[in-house]
Structure 1
Amino acid sequence: MNYPDRLRALLAKPGLVVMPAVWDGLTAKLAAAAGFQTAFLSGSCVAASRLGGPDLDLISFGEMFDSFNMVHAAAPQTLVLADGDHGYGNAMNVQRTVRAYGRAGAAAVLIEDKITPRALTAAGKPCLSRDEARMKIRAAVEAAKESGILVLARTDCRPTQGIDEAVARIEMYVKEGADILFLDSPADDGEIRRAVAAAGGKPSFAVLSPGAPRATPSQKEAAALGFKIGTYPTGMLSPAAAGMKAGLAALIAGGAEAASAMPPPELRATLGYADYDAAAKPFIVPA
C-alpha cells in the first residue's frame, strides 16, 4: 500500500488524527519515535528553521522540497502532508509542485488560494478570485492522478472576504475533487460547523496551535466539531526555541548546559549512534 492509500485508510478510521508539524530530520524522527503515524511539513516551521523568520511567503519550492526529503529520509514510514503553499505560481506551477511531492513519497499536499507574490506587509491574506482559485485546485487534482497523492484545498479568504465566501469556496473545492478541506482562521464554533458541513463528508483539517486570531478548540472539542485532522505548527517549534534559548542562557551564566538538557547518553541514543554502529558493522574491514 503506497503512502496516499495508507493515509486514506487512516482517515477512514474513527477519531481525530493528531498531526505534529515537522521541518527536518530530527523533528521527523522524534515524532515517529513518539508514535505519530503522520506529520505536517509546515511552511511556517521551515521558514523559522531556515530563515530564522516568519512565514510570509519567502520560502521557495526548492527549500520546501529539500526539507521534505530530509523529513522523508529520517522517518520513511511517516505519512507526510506537504505544505505546497500557493503552488509557487500559476496552475502549471501547482501541477509541478503536486507531481514532485507525489513522486517523492508525500501522502498529501496542501494548496491554498492566497495571492502570490503577497503585498509587502505582514497583515492580511488577500486571495485569488474564485475562478482562479478553482483552476488551481482543478490543476492540483489533475496532477495528483499520477501518484494518487491526496489534495488538501485551503481557503484563506475568511478574514478578507467573509465566511460566506469561504464556505462557497470549500463547496467548490469539493466539486473539483479535493480530498481534504481547510478553512483558515474560523472565528468561532459556528463557522467551523459551516465549513465542516460544506466539506460534504470529506475530511476537514484544522490548525489547533494557540496564539493566532482564530478559533482553537481542544483535541476533544475539535473531534466533536467534526474535524478529522488537527495540526500543531508550534507544538515542537516553540519548545525547541525555548530550549535553545535556555541553553544559551546557561552558557552566558558560566554553565555547560540548561537544566532541561537531555543527559548525553539519551541524546546519543536519540540521534542513533548505536544504530549507526549496528548498520556499519557488516562493512568493517578486519584488521
Structure 2
Amino acid sequence: MTASAPDRLRALLAKPGFVVMPAVWDGLSAKLAASAGFETAFLSGSCVAASRLGGPDLDLVSFGEMLDSFQMVHNAAPRTLVLADGDHGYGNAMNVQRVVSTYGRAGAAAVLIEDKITPRALTAAGKPCLPREEARMKIRAAVEAAKESGILVLARTDCRPTQGIDEAVARIEMFVQEGADIFLLDSPADEDEIRRAVAAAGGRPSFSVLSPGAPRATPTQAEAAAMGYKIGTFPTGMLSPAVAAMKAGLAALAAGESESSAALPPPELRATLGYGDYDAQAKPFITG
C-alpha cells in the first residue's frame, strides 16, 4: 500500500538534513520544481495572488481560488509533497476546519494556519493578530480536523511585529500544546529570536521564510539549518526570476526582436512542456 502524502512528509522530516521547499503556484511551476528534484513544495498565497490577480498578497485571494491552484499543482506533480497555504482559515474556527479537511481530502501533505485578524485593516502595512485564546482555538480546530486525513498542521504566528517576541514565543509554545506539527515565527528580528522560536517548538520542526527583501532576519540555508530550522521556503525564488524573464521577453518584442536572449530553444521548451510525453501516452489509443 502506498504511503499517504502526510506520512511521506513525516518520514522526510524525520531524516537528517535541511528541507528546501520551493514556492509554487500552478501546474508549470510545480512540474519544474519536481523535475529539478525537489520532493516538497509550498503552495504560496503570495505567489498565487501574483499569478491570479497580478497583485500583492493582501488577503484578496479566496479559498476557492487557492484550492483550484492546489489542484493544478497536485495534478501536474502528483508525487510532490505540498504544503498548502491555508492563510487565516478564511473565517472562524469552523472555517479553519473546512479548509484543513478539504486540503486533506484533496491530497495535501500539510496545511498552514496563521493567527492574523481577518478581514484585515484597509492598509498594506502591519499584521494585527487575534487575541491569544482565539488563536489557540483556530489551531485546536485545525488539529482536530487534521485527524481525518492525517494532514500535518503548520501553526504560524504573525504577532512578532505588533505584540513582540515574548508573545510570539508564548504562542508557539501554546501551539505545541495544542498538537500542531510544524511551527513558523513570522518576521524574526535576529538570530536570538530565531533560536528562541526554535527552542519553543520543543524539538518539532520549525519552518523559515528565506526569500530576501522583507523586514525580517533572512539567514542563508546553511545558517538556517545551523540555527535549528528544518524547512526553508522561498516565496520569490521562482516568482521573481519568472517576472524578470517575462519583462525581458516583452522588452525584446517591443524592440522589434522575436524573443529574449534568455528564451529556451524551442525543442527544449517543447520537451519541458511534455509534447513528447503526450505522444508516447497517446500512442496505444491511435486507431488504424
- TM-score, normalisation: structure 2: 0.99
Structure 2 residue 197 is the aligned partner of structure 1 residue 195: yes
- In structure 2, the gaps of 5 or more residues are none
The match for 1:69 among 61, 68, 71 is 71
1:282 alignment counterpart = 284
Residue number in structure 2 paired with 1:51: 53
Q: How many residues align?
A: 286
> Deviation digits for residues 67-105 of structure 1, max 9, x if unmatched?
000000000000000000000000000000000000000
Give matches, 1:213-232, under 5 Å. Answer: 213-232=215-234
The match for 2:249 is 247
Choose which of 89, 92, 97 in structure 1 pairs with 2:91.
Answer: 89
Alpha-carbon distance in 1 for matches of 2:180, 2:117: 20
What's the RMSD between the two structures over aligned residues? Answer: 0.3
Corresponding residue for residue 9 of structure 2: 7
Name the amino acid aligned to 1:122.
Answer: A
Q: Which amino acid aligns with 1:136?
A: K
Q: Please give the secondary structure, in 1, of the residue aligned with 2:237.
A: helix
Which runs of structure 2 are paired with 1:1-287 in the superposition (5 Å)?
1-286=3-288
Q: CA deviation at 1:284?
A: 1.0
Structure 1 unaligned blocks of 5 or more: none
Superposed CA offset, 1:204-237 (max 9, x none): 0000000000000000000000000000000000
The letter of the residue matching 2:164 is: G
The SS at the match of 2:84 is strand
Question: Alignment partner of 2:232: what SS?
Answer: strand
Alignment-mate amino acid for residue 52 of structure 2: R
- Taking the aligned partners of 1:133 and 1:166, their CA distance within structure 2 comes to 11
Q: Following TM superposition, by how much is the alpha carbon of 1:285 offset from its aligned partner in structure 2, in angstroms?
A: 1.5
Q: 2 CA distance for matches of 1:181 and 1:65?
A: 22
Secondary structure at 1:181 match in 2: strand
CA distance, structure 2, for counterparts of residue 148 and residue 76 of structure 1 = 18
Q: Distance in 1 between matches of 2:13 and 2:276?
A: 35
2-structure distance, mates of 1:284, 1:55: 46
How far the C-alpha of 1:193 sits from its partner, in A, is: 0.2
Q: Structure 2 counterpart of 1:201, which letter?
A: G
State the alpha-carbon separation in 2 of the partners of residues 3 and 64 from structure 1. Answer: 19
Give TM-score, length-normalised by structure 1: 0.99
Distance in 2 (CA, whole Å) between partners of 1:129 and 1:284 is 62
Amino acid at match of 2:53: L
Q: CA deviation at 1:131?
A: 0.3
Q: Distance in 2 between matches of 1:34 and 1:165?
A: 39
Partner Cα distance (2:17, 2:227) in 1 = 12
